[in-house]
Structure 1
Amino acid sequence: MKYILSILAKLLILGISLVALASCQDEIEPEIEIDMDGIVSNDPVAQSIVAVATKDGSTDNIIDRSSCTTVIFPIAGIFEDEEQVFQTLTEVEALGAGALEVDWVFPFNVILFDHTEITLNDEDELETIQDGCIEGGSDPDNECIDFIYPFTIQVFDTRTENVDSREITSDREAYNTFTSSVLITTIEYPVRMIDATGNTLEAFTNEELTNIITNAANSCDEQDIIEFEEIFEEELRMLFKSTDWEVSFYESDSVENTSLFSGYTLRFNEDMTLQSQGAEVVEGEWDIELSDTAKSVSIEFDTEEEPLVLLNENWTITEHTQTQITLEYQDPEEGTKRLQLSSN
């Protein structure tokens, strides 16, 4: 049977009609090699195609911390002690750093790198996938170029000995076709692709297609980010550094003392030093810290004098906009402190 299949593959690649192909099955000829244009799953061109067609799961890493899985919406999570149902990734991203505080509710469904869908029943199953997922641009998928679908292929199935023409319309179809060990394919060129910069490229041979895909690999930032704390920390640092701030509200143990800070301006510097400009300039230091449950800013002025010494705490950031930051500190002796900074 092996030599018959080899003949069939050769004839397919040469474009001989199905009638002629069928008549050749009755002839016994010496075994021949598959023509170089016939693609099998371990060929470089097939592996290049599979790299492009592999499912990229990096867009929703804020949820699953894995570029090897793509969450299927809707998905439920507990945020601020209430269960919410998120219909889209946009709704999750709208939480900003708050997305790190969501306790996701299992089970939920995901799509794997090979386009199969599975159900994750608990945190352990997700962690197993996370531990086995290669991140940071070293993963096997090529996210810097995409196929412009559809494109057409001729397929010889070595199980059924059937030849047919197929239109590939998606990454899932391309992945399943070119990873199959029982299919021999030829591509009807040209095949069009689009790279990360928006340029359209055309391939007219297997060699050209392989070269285009290979050259595109690692040519863009694949954004396989799984640790988001540093990103949100930097965003908050940029907010504090963006302008000078005034104390627009200060309260300690339910007693408001905003007037104490009249005439004072706070400046958060790039080198993490801090300055208060009032009757005199007072120096200090500041820093941002982000955890899975809270985001905070530490303020430490080099003084024991009021009112600035009242700001020397590790404040929890409860709300923030480009013009206003709301902070809170739980003091075991003095009760709750509340502080609001507004751009001047």
Structure 2
Amino acid sequence: MKFLKTTLVLFSVLLILSSCRTEEIQIVNPPIENELVANSTVANLMRNTVAKDGSDDNIIDKASCLSIKLPVTVTVNSKEITINDKDGYEEIEDLFDLFDDDVDSIVISYPIEVILSDYTVKTVNSDEELEALAQNCKGENEEDDDIECLDFYYPLKASVFNSNKELILTLTIENDEEMYKLIGDLEDYAAVTIDFPFKVILNGDTYIYINNMQELEEAIAAAKNSCDEDDDNDYNDDDCDGCTTEGVKEIFANCNEWIVEKLYLNEEYLTEEFKMFTFSFRENGSIKIDNNGDISEGTWKVTGEGNDMSFSINIPNYPAFNGTWYLHEVKEGSGVVSVHLLLEGNHLRFKSQCSVVKNELSDILLAEGSVWAVENYKNDGVDKTETFTNYKIYFYPDNVVKAKKDGVVMVGSWEVSSDASILALNFSDAPVNEFNKEWTVASISEMQVVLEANDRRLVIKRID
């Protein structure tokens, strides 16, 4: 069924039933420069951009033009595991990497469902059926046609017009699949326009604004081959061929807060035990470990080059991390950086979200309709969050910030440093003047900003 076809049919019935109320029909001349035309260059580029990417699970299906619908059960080197999410692909790779002198194998438990690039779902009952599907959708270069170096930032708005230039529907597009279906349905509509401006994400870590169709076409065309789409079947091609000590140090200098994404030690998973910990790897070789306000210290050191790099950790209070690990790989993409360490069959992976958000701090604080609140505030280890319960914080483009509680408004100023690593706050009234600091930005997302200043830690969250 075509995208929103049922909605349009119902809308047509309503128009017939209310034909005497023609004053309610909005007649608008669609802006031609923003019209999305079926089979146009920009429409085809957009379709390839939002096509379903199937490269994440190439370690299983060896095909970037389709993906296996999770969960799926596979047997890896005689060990049966169930893959529930993308972390499971890392688990397969970890099992492959345990030994260098064995023959790696993976057996899929059928039947399974696969999702094609057009979001069609098919049932597959054997390796032969899977291979036939893969061969049918692969391009001449054994790669898919999708464009992964640019992503749309949702939600987006689109307007649908009929042949009388009447605005009959306004759409909110929430994800790639909805955009793909809209592009496939363009011939069913007299005209469709996209509401500009909107943001797109380049290479997973840079936002730019698009103001019209011409800019969109140029941006997608320029991004088409601007990054490694990882469409091959070499699951180790993101290992440390290009790693350097300076590069690793720079990553840790730019990313102030890390979590334990995985800790597998002596055949036991310890990730859950450390899930609330945050790690800061400082340039002077020290490590700060924050366990919900309980602070510990340690040291770290990286040496070597390429695939012969050592990563030494010494944390007296948490010996599970201690040792001279082998730096297996560093991954950067979609705003996430991960560092994977190996030691005699043990696995340690740290993860940080720092690539995208540092450039976007102001945009996040100023997001339309955003209201912020204090989620956590500690001063010298003392939890003072309750003091600021029910305060709402508003950021404004003219560097004005307001804190409001029970109808009382307290006005201050805010400023972000040129490299977005510092957020300065300055209020004149108590108690919020306690936040008057040049805060180091430890981590940010669209819903949370974590700030640190000496012995203080302030976490604000978006509540609207």
Q: TM-score range by the shorter chain?
A: 0.5 to 0.7
Secondary structure of residue in 1 paired with 2:119: coil
* 1:79 Cα deviation after fit: 3.6
Tell me, yes or no, if the aligned pair for 1:135 and 1:224 is still in contact at 8 Å.
Answer: no
Q: Deviations over 1:38-69 (max 9, x none)?
A: 32221122112112111111011001111011
The partner residue of 1:200 within 175, 195, 207 is 207
Query: Whole-Å Cα distance in 2 between the matches of residues 324 and 42 of structure 1?
Result: 52
Q: Structure 1 CA distance, aligned partners of 2:40 and 2:56?
A: 29
> How far apart are residue 225 of structure 1 and its match?
1.7
1:54 partnered with 2:54 = no
The unaligned stretches of length 5 or more in structure 2 are 1-22, 97-103, 244-305, 307-341, 347-464
* 1:46-85 alignment, distance < 5 Å: 46-81=43-78, 83-85=80-82
For 2:197, the aligned partner's letter is: P
How far is 1:324 from its partner? 7.7
Report which of the two structures shows the higher radius of gyration computed on alpha carbons. 1
The one-letter code of the counterpart of 2:106 is: V
Q: Residue 110 of structure 1: which of 114, 118, 140 is its match?
A: 114
Answer yes or no: is 1:188 the counterpart of 2:190.
no
Given candidates 226, 231, 234, the residue that maps to 1:224 is 231
Moved >6 Å (runs of 4+): none
| 1:109 shift after superposition | 1.2
| Partner secondary structure for residue 130 of structure 1 | helix
State the distance in 1 between where 2:66 and 2:168 align. 34
Match of 2:93 in 1: 96
- What whole-Å deviation, never above 9, does each CA across 1:228-269 have from its counterpart, x for those lacking one? 4x759x889x9xxxxxxxxxxxxxxxxxxxxxxxxxxxxxxx
RMSD in angstroms over aligned alpha carbons?
A: 3.5
Secondary structure of 1:134's aligned partner: coil
Q: Distance in 2 between matches of 1:197 and 1:81?
A: 36
Distance 1:139 1:46, change over 3 A: same
* Structure 1 residue 323, shift from structure 2 partner: 4.9
Q: 1:108 to 1:125 in 2, by over 3 A?
A: same
Where does residue 39 of structure 1 map in the other structure?
36
The TM-score with structure 1 as length reference comes to 0.54
TM-score, normalised by the number of residues in structure 2: 0.41
**Alpha-carbon shift at residue 90 of structure 1 (Å):** 1.9
Q: Tell me if the contact between 1:76 and 1:83 (Cα under 8 Å) persists in the aligned partners.
A: yes
**In 2, are the aligned partners of 1:74 and 1:87 still within 8 Å (CA)?**
yes
Given that 2:159 and 2:167 are in contact with CA atoms closer than 8 Å, whether structure 1 keeps it comes out as: no
Indicate how the Cα distance of structure 1 residues 210 and 198 shifts in structure 2: closer, same or farther if over 3 A, else same. Answer: same
In structure 2, how many angstroms separate the alpha carbons of the residues matched to 1:231 and 1:115?
27
**Shift, 1:36, TM fit:** 5.2
Letter in 2 for 1:122: S
Q: Distance in 2 between the 1:37 and 1:147 partners?
A: 16
Aligned residue type for 1:206: M
Alignment of 1:1-344 (within 5 A): 19=25, 21=27, 35=32, 37-81=34-78, 83-96=80-93, 98=95, 100-132=104-136, 133-134=138-139, 139-156=144-161, 163-180=168-185, 181-183=187-189, 184-196=191-203, 198-228=205-235, 231=237, 322-323=343-344
Give the conservation status (yes or no) of the 8 Å contact 1:150–1:167: yes
Q: What CA distance in whole angstroms lies between the structure 1 residues aligned with 2:200 and 2:159? A: 19
Q: Which runs of 5+ in 1 are unaligned?
A: 1-16, 23-33, 239-269, 271-320, 326-344
Structure with greater contact order relative to length (CA < 8 Å, sep ≥ 6): 1
Q: Is the 8 A contact 2:64 2:143 kept in 1?
A: no
1:104 maps to a residue whose letter is I
Separation of aligned partners in 2, 1:118 and 1:324 = 38
How many residue pairs align between the two structures? 214
- Given that 1:55 and 1:113 are in contact with CA atoms closer than 8 Å, whether structure 2 keeps it comes out as yes
Contact 2:150 2:204 in 1 (8 A): no
Q: Is the 8 A contact 1:137 1:218 kept in 2?
A: no
CA contact (8 A) 2:51 2:180 kept: yes
3-state SS, counterpart of residue 94 of structure 1? helix
